[in-house]
Chain A
Amino acid sequence: MELPTEGVVPAKPAPAARPQRQRKLANKHKLFLMALPFLIITFIFYYLPVSGWIYAFYDFIPGIPLKDTPYVGLQWFKSIVANPTQTAEVLRVLKNTVAMSSLGLITSVFPVIFAILLSEIKTGWYRKLVQTLTTIPNFISWILVYALAFSLFSVDSGVVTAILAQLKIVPEGYNFLASDSHIWLKMIIWYWWKSLGWGAILYLAAIAGIDQDLYEAAETDGAGRFRKIWHITVPGLIPTFFVLLLLSIGNFVNNGMEQYFAFQNAMNKDSIEVLDLYVYNIAFANNFPFATAVSMLKSLVSVFLLFAANTLSKLVRGESII
């Protein structure tokens, strides 16, 4: 027992500090426990599926338990290179994937151009109207996009088919959606019809954030419209563009499935099947283990690309993207 010194009332620091530390300790665990159910759900829905990779090593047939199916090692992976028909098919799918992703990368400047040009429009309400209305298609599903396309391009009553036929761009009775020709071009056009307005929003915000004094200074120096765009606006947009570009490099093998799934049919299947759709199609043909093997390779390549993009980002910008 300590005696009070200097006649001051003891501030009781020790007893006060201990509960506080204990409380902090209790909080530490309490907070974790509150988050725990969510972490378990995350584990179940996002991490547990990785265990399904094991099916790639078995001759698995849906319906038969895994323990009764023969272990085949790397057979499914080897078949990609060993079996000529399989190799040809995988190469075809890879070609489609690379084509669609490359087209996507090349055209990723579209939203930048859209934003720059839109911000050149001086009538405020018109700019706002364009911005609002062009983002609508982004919020409908690919199935709905396809449904709209189905009506507009229908062979006997579609308005676009009729107009194109009248302009002699396509022959009479042309089935736009069932045809295999220019399918990559068609897909990228649909993609930008849906995403252009939405994709431009970030850039429009970036343009709005550029210091107006810069433009005035450039004007006094006699810079015209295009020089102002080139020397002020474009440099202001490059950081945003770069991050998005790196993310899409990371997603090079993930085209997503919905667009291709919605638009695929027997006629265009050969040129529309990207990896994601291919995995789905072979799984539906009941070849589960091969589908698993392909999606496993795809996931691994995708992680590798993401790390590569991230490293690149750290080197160039000194900042990571993830």
Chain B
Amino acid sequence: MRKKQTAGDRTFQVCLYLLFGLFTISCLYPFYYLFINTISSNDLSAAGDIKFYPRGIHFNNYVKVLKISGLSHAALVSAYRTICGTLLTVGSSAFLGYLFTKKDMWGRQIWYRFIVVTMYFSAGLIPWYITMNNLHLTNNYLAYILPTIITPFNIILVKTFIEAIPPSLEESAAMDGAGYLRSFWSIIVPLITPILATITIFSAVNQWNSFVDTAFLMTETKYFTLQFLLWRYLNESSSLAALIRSSPDMAASIVNMQTPTSVRMTVTMIVVLPILIIYPFFQRFFVKGIMIGAVKG
């Protein structure tokens, strides 16, 4: 027997729907706004006339922007660090997480804490920079991927996940004489693919979004990532205008001439697109990650 909805109840419900609707739109609209502006006539866009739907659709902005010198190289650098960095993180987190489930390890508790503590403590920016400099990791591609080998949070996730697997599965393999490496590879890895998927997606997004390390460690343009180039375009409009003037191909077309604004928007769209594309497919992995992390985080 359910109570009839009172008028107050109904108003409350309607307000909730509206409230969440508005917030959801506020989360999505910026992306949409950017997109319609990059494919609309650049004159209308510069006048602020493109608000809700595209007008004078063209894809010149994308064609032209991809020709900016350095941009495609930056995309490669971003792709490189995303792929290599993620592979390293996932591989090492999986293996190290597995090793830490082995109670036989000498000093296991101490070493585990040795790694986990680093989540809560940092020496600070400058000491870190000086260390990286001393290790010759400034202006060096390795600086993007080596530090990510140890990601304490991922190691915790994997360890927690493996501990929930019945040990009998691995013990039977040990009976058959499989060593640690064998049983890690053929027993554990297939069982922990869900958590590996989660940390893969987490670290891929982190790598793609990373920015601070480039700002500190890299001074030569060939090490710049897309995020860093975008930041430069946002802050140095004069250099961007010069860049546009200096590329004859960009200024040549009278219609839909490139402006600093159109370049900025298009580059933003290019940087954000990979995340928007993978997001719907991997959303559940993100959620799973935060859940497991919360248990032991």
Mark the stretch among B63-71, B142-150, B165-173 that contacts chain A: B142-150
Contact of A31 among B51, B106, B116 (CB under 8 A): B106
- Judging by beta carbons under 8 Å apart, are A299 and B124 in contact? yes
Measured CB to CB, the nearest residue on chain B to A149 is: B30
Which of A27, A150, A196, A202 lies at the interface centre, i.e. has the most chain B CB atoms within 10 A of its CB? Answer: A150
In the bound complex, residues from chain B placing their C-beta under 8 Å from that of A35 are: 96, 99-100, 105, 111
B176 within 8 A of A: no
State the CA gap A156–B49 with chains docked (Å).
11
- Judging by beta carbons under 8 Å apart, are B104 and A28 in contact? yes
Measured CB to CB, the nearest residue on chain A to B181 is: A34
Measured CB to CB, the nearest residue on chain A to B92 is: A38
- B95-138 interface code vs A (CB 8 A; 1 in, 0 out): 11001101011111001001111101111111111110001000
- Judging by beta carbons under 8 Å apart, are A55 and B16 in contact? no
- B248-289 interface code vs A (CB 8 A; 1 in, 0 out): 000000000000010011011001100110011001001100
State the CA gap A107–B21 with chains docked (Å).
21
Given A143-B227, A162-B48, do A225 and B123 touch, yes or no (CB 8 Å)? Answer: no
A248 within 8 A of B: no
Given A38-B92, A193-B27, do A52 and B290 touch, yes or no (CB 8 Å)? Answer: no
Give the residues from 164 to 189 in chain B that come closer than 8 angstroms, CB to CB, to chain A. Answer: 180
Number of interface residues of A (CB under 8 A): 88
- A253-290 interface code vs B (CB 8 A; 1 in, 0 out): 00001100110010000000000100110010000100
A296 within 8 A of B: yes
Given A148-B268, A193-B26, A193-B27, do A28 and B105 touch, yes or no (CB 8 Å)? Answer: yes
- Judging by beta carbons under 8 Å apart, are B287 and A52 in contact? no
State the CA gap A265–B235 with chains docked (Å).
9
In the bound complex, residues from chain A placing their C-beta under 8 Å from that of B242 are: none
State the CA gap A45–B92 with chains docked (Å).
15
- Judging by beta carbons under 8 Å apart, are A52 and B135 in contact? no
B209 within 8 A of A: yes
- Judging by beta carbons under 8 Å apart, are B125 and A55 in contact? no
State the CA gap A30–B12 with chains docked (Å).
63
Distance between A216 CB and nearest chain B CB, rounded to angstroms: 12
Contact of B234 among A34, A120, A147, A198 (CB under 8 A): A147
In the bound complex, residues from chain A placing their C-beta under 8 Å from that of B92 are: 38
In the bound complex, residues from chain A placing their C-beta under 8 Å from that of B211 are: 141-143, 258
Mark the stretch among A1-9, A127-135, A230-238 that contacts chain B: A127-135
Distance between B205 CB and nearest chain A CB, rounded to angstroms: 5
State the CA gap A93–B17 with chains docked (Å).
41
State the CA gap A139–B279 with chains docked (Å).
9
- Judging by beta carbons under 8 Å apart, are B272 and A144 in contact? yes
Contact of A144 among B122, B209, B235 (CB under 8 A): B209
Give the residues from 1 to 42 in chain A that come closer than 8 angstroms, CB to CB, to chain B. Answer: 24, 27-32, 34-35, 38-39, 41-42
Contact of B125 among A50, A149, A283 (CB under 8 A): A283
In the bound complex, residues from chain A placing their C-beta under 8 Å from that of B116 are: 322
Distance between B56 CB and nearest chain A CB, rounded to angstroms: 15
In the bound complex, residues from chain B placing their C-beta under 8 Å from that of A173 are: none
Mark the stretch among B31-39, B79-87, B190-198 that contacts chain A: B31-39
- Judging by beta carbons under 8 Å apart, are B124 and A141 in contact? no
- Judging by beta carbons under 8 Å apart, are A148 and B30 in contact? yes
B220 within 8 A of A: no
Distance between B181 CB and nearest chain A CB, rounded to angstroms: 8
State the CA gap A7–B71 with chains docked (Å).
85
In the bound complex, residues from chain B placing their C-beta under 8 Å from that of A53 are: 123-124, 127
Task: Using A158-B48, A279-B126 as known contacts, list a sample of 12 further A-B pairs with CB atoms less than 8 Å apart, ordered by residue number in A.
Answer: A27-B102, A30-B180, A137-B27, A140-B275, A147-B230, A147-B264, A149-B30, A152-B33, A193-B27, A201-B290, A279-B124, A292-B124
Q: What would 16 A/B residue contacts be, using CB atoms closer than 8 Å? A: A31-B108, A32-B106, A49-B123, A51-B131, A118-B20, A137-B27, A139-B275, A143-B231, A144-B272, A151-B33, A151-B37, A197-B27, A202-B290, A257-B125, A257-B212, A299-B122
Q: Which residues of A contact B (CB under 8 A)?
A: 24, 27-32, 34-35, 38-39, 41-42, 44-53, 55, 117-118, 120-123, 126, 129-130, 132-137, 139-144, 146-152, 154, 156-159, 162, 193, 196-198, 201-202, 205, 225, 240, 250, 257-258, 261-262, 265, 276, 279-280, 283, 288, 291-292, 295-296, 298-299, 302-303, 306, 322
